[in-house]
DNA sequence: TAGAAAACTGACTGAGCGCTCAGTCTAATT
DNA sequence: AATTAGACTGAGCGCTCAGTCAGTTTTCTA
């Protein structure tokens, strides 16, 4: 093998992501992680200093993986109106949460928020990710207010938070198998449009 | 003492609600519950057959406690338009979730949804509660469509789900200490109004 | 007030947990 | 061929936990 470094480390991180997402942090045993990866339990603690350390590593790579993708999306030039960009961003968010289901399941863990209360790095990562999403919605809204597609009277930041919270709620419904979110997609878009659009277009 | 039945049983149930809400199901130890209530650990298992049994009992009494209150609210006559009733219902929901914070924290536990996948009673309770909320929003919306305050073209059930998901998201933000929801309240109401209102009023 | 039933007790159990450590293996370097 | 360092191992330690049980106390009933 060419690469001597960290042969099993990545495997462990990947399996831990899978298990933490499916069963939760507390209900995932190191023994299970060991069985799944084929690594001895000792190996896991050779690479990571603790179970919590694994969780933090996942968050770290989650941030490194997702934030750039969102920055790229945000900086891509677009011919669309701000209102259309809000719709696009919703689609993009739903697509992202579907294609990285495990990562977003981890973001919805209670443990993440408990850890955030004592661990500044954890809190910083969570905030960075959420703020990034809300920022994208906000700049779509202010853009829309400039181009006339979105009502200039509404407060951009707060509305961005509300749109984000709507979409985030849908994602959680999907994760909990409560409702068929696909069936709600069109109505979600329509609702956001009614919420934001400028009614006396120039 | 007059009441022979269940002297400590209620105390245990109450303390368990508190602990499950604050620390989560998995992170609550029976020993802690014993210390908090002053009941011996054996007493807990005399009244409840297992830890899971306690959780189910909490859900059961949650249902018995909350559903009637919502039914009463739903059946109360009102002079308001449907659109105003949607706003009222949002207030009512936010008020309820604040005054029974522990109960709603338990409804947001991942463990509840895990249990629901194997335990039909649990699933039935969760669905009953959520459906009740959504039903109230739905009947406010159909009422509004009848009285002309709400756009007749929008699908009532789906919009009810979306409004509910918005409010539910706010509640979760509040629980996770992520945002100051009070600051968003006015904007939440305004957004819902813009989303639903009838624009060519008779 | 005797006796039965119900409520309660806390020391105990065994399974499972996160984590350690003394040591082996592998592959590159000298 | 000998040395070395990093990757890896798995038995096992200390501890926590949900749940048990043999026995005591309280309450109800006849």
Could you tell me which chain A residue has the CA closest to the CA of B105?
Answer: A110
C-beta atoms of B162 and A191 within 8 A: yes
C-beta atoms of A195 and B191 within 8 A: yes
List pLDDT tens digits, range B39-67: 999 999 999 999 999 999 999 999 999 99
Whether B201 has a pLDDT exceeding 80, the answer reads no
Report the gap between the CA of B48 and the closest CA in chain A (Å). 23
For A133, A137, B45, B48, the CA distances from A92, given in Å and listed in that order, are: 10, 11, 50, 47
Give strand pairing partners of A150: A197
pLDDT for A202: 47
Comparing A40-49, B128-137, B167-176, which segment has the lowest mean pLDDT?
B167-176
Q: CB of residue A149 closer than 7 A to nucleic acid strand C?
A: no
B52 CA – D29 C1', rounded, Å: 35
Report the first-to-last Cα separation within chain A, whole angstroms. 65
For A43, other C-beta atoms within 10 Å of its C-beta total 17
Q: Rounded to whole angstroms, how far apart are CA atoms A183 and A168?
A: 16
Helix (H) or strand (E) holding A28: none
User: Which chain B residues are closer than 8 Å to A130 by Cβ?
Assistant: 178
B38 CA – D18 C1', rounded, Å: 18
Q: Which two tokens stand for residue A12?
A: 């462990």
Comparing A91-95, A119-123, A144-148, B176-180, which segment has the lowest mean pLDDT?
B176-180
Q: Rounded to whole angstroms, how far apart are CA atoms B47 and B37?
A: 13
List pLDDT tens digits, range B63-81: 999 999 988 998 888 889 9
A41 CA – C29 C1', rounded, Å: 30
Q: Which of A26, A191, A195 sits opposite B27 (nearest CB)?
A: A26
Q: Which residues put CB within 7 Å of chain D, the nucleic strand?
A: A 4-9, 38-43, 45-47; B 1, 4, 28-31, 41-42, 45-46, 49-52
Query: Which residues, 6 or more positions from B25, have their beta carbon under 8 angstroms from its beta carbon?
Result: B51, B55, B109, B111
C-beta atoms of A179 and B161 within 8 A: yes
User: Which chain A residues are closer than 8 Å to B24 by Cβ?
Assistant: 26, 110
pLDDT for A5: 53
pLDDT for A6: 59
Confidence of residue A181 (pLDDT cuts 50, 70, 90): confident
Whether B176 has a pLDDT exceeding 90, the answer reads no
Q: CB of residue A34 closer than 7 A to nucleic acid strand C?
A: no
pLDDT for A2: 28
Mean pLDDT of B143-152: 97
Query: Which residues, 6 or more positions from B127, have their beta carbon under 8 angstroms from its beta carbon?
Result: none
pLDDT for B202: 47
Whether A4 has a pLDDT exceeding 50, the answer reads no
Confidence of residue B4 (pLDDT cuts 50, 70, 90): very low
List pLDDT tens digits, range A29-76: 999 999 999 999 999 999 999 999 999 999 999 999 999 998 899 888
Whether B94 has a pLDDT exceeding 80, the answer reads yes
pTM of the model: 0.89
Could you tell me which chain B residue has the CA closest to the CA of A155?
Answer: B187
Whether B134 has a pLDDT exceeding 90, the answer reads yes
Show which positions of strand C are touched by protein (CB under 7 A): 6-12, 16-22, 27-28
Confidence of residue B3 (pLDDT cuts 50, 70, 90): very low
User: Which chain B residues are closer than 8 Å to A173 by Cβ?
Assistant: 165
Q: Which residue has the tokens 């490194």?
A: A64
List pLDDT tens digits, range A98-133: 999 999 999 999 999 999 999 999 999 999 999 999
pLDDT for B174: 87
- Mean per-residue pLDDT of chain B: 91
pLDDT for B163: 96
pLDDT for B198: 94
Show which positions of strand D are touched by protein (CB under 7 A): 6-12, 16-22, 27-28
Percent of chain B at pLDDT exceeding 90: 80
Q: Rounded to whole angstroms, how far apart are CA atoms B166 and B195?
A: 12
- Per-residue three-class SS string for A59-113: HHHHHHHHHHHHHHHHHCCCCCCHHHHHHHHHHHHHHHHHHCHHHHHHHCCHHHH
For A139, A148, A156, the CA distances from A81, given in Å and listed in that order, are: 12, 8, 15
* Residue in A68, A72, A51, A54 with CA at minimum distance from that of residue A128: A68
Q: Rounded to whole angstroms, how far apart are CA atoms A41 and A33?
A: 8
Comparing A63-72, A143-152, A168-177, B125-134, which segment has the lowest mean pLDDT?
A168-177
Full DSSP string of B94-114: HHHHHHTHHHHHHHT-HHHHH
Confidence of residue B7 (pLDDT cuts 50, 70, 90): confident
**B157 in Cβ contact with B149 (< 8 Å):** no
List pLDDT tens digits, range A85-98: 999 999 999 999 99
Comparing A23-32, A143-152, B4-13, B142-151, which segment has the lowest mean pLDDT?
B4-13
Mean pLDDT of A176-193: 88
pLDDT for B5: 52
C-beta atoms of A161 and B184 within 8 A: yes
Q: Rounded to whole angstroms, how far apart are CA atoms A199 and A150?
A: 8
For A47, A66, A82, B76, the CA distances from A167, given in Å and listed in that order, are: 37, 17, 17, 32
For residue A24, give the DSSP letter. -
């Amino acid at each position: 093998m060419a690469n001597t470094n960290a042969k099993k480390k990545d495997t462990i991180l990947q399996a831990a992501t899978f298990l933490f997402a499916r069963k939760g942090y507390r209900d995932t045993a190191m023994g299970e992680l060991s069985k799944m990866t084929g690594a001895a339990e000792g190996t896991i603690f050779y690479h990571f200093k603790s179970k919590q350390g694994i969780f933090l590593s996942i968050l770290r790579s989650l941030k490194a993986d997702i934030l750039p993708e969102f920055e790229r999306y945000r900086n891509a030039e677009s011919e669309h109106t701000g209102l259309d960009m809000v719709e696009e961003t919703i689609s993009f968010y739903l697509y992202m949460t579907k294609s990285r289901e495990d990562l977003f399941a981890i973001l919805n863990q209670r443990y993440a928020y408990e850890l955030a209360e004592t661990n500044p790095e954890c809190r910083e990562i969570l905030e960075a990710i959420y703020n990034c999403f809300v920022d994208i919605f906000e700049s779509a809204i202010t853009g829309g207010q400039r181009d006339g597609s979105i009502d200039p009277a509404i407060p951009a930041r707060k509305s961005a938070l509300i749109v984000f919270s709507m979409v985030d709620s849908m994602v959680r419904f999907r994760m909990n198998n409560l409702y068929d979110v696909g069936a709600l997609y069109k109505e979600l878009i329509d609702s956001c449009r009614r919420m934001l659009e400028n009614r006396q277009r120039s």
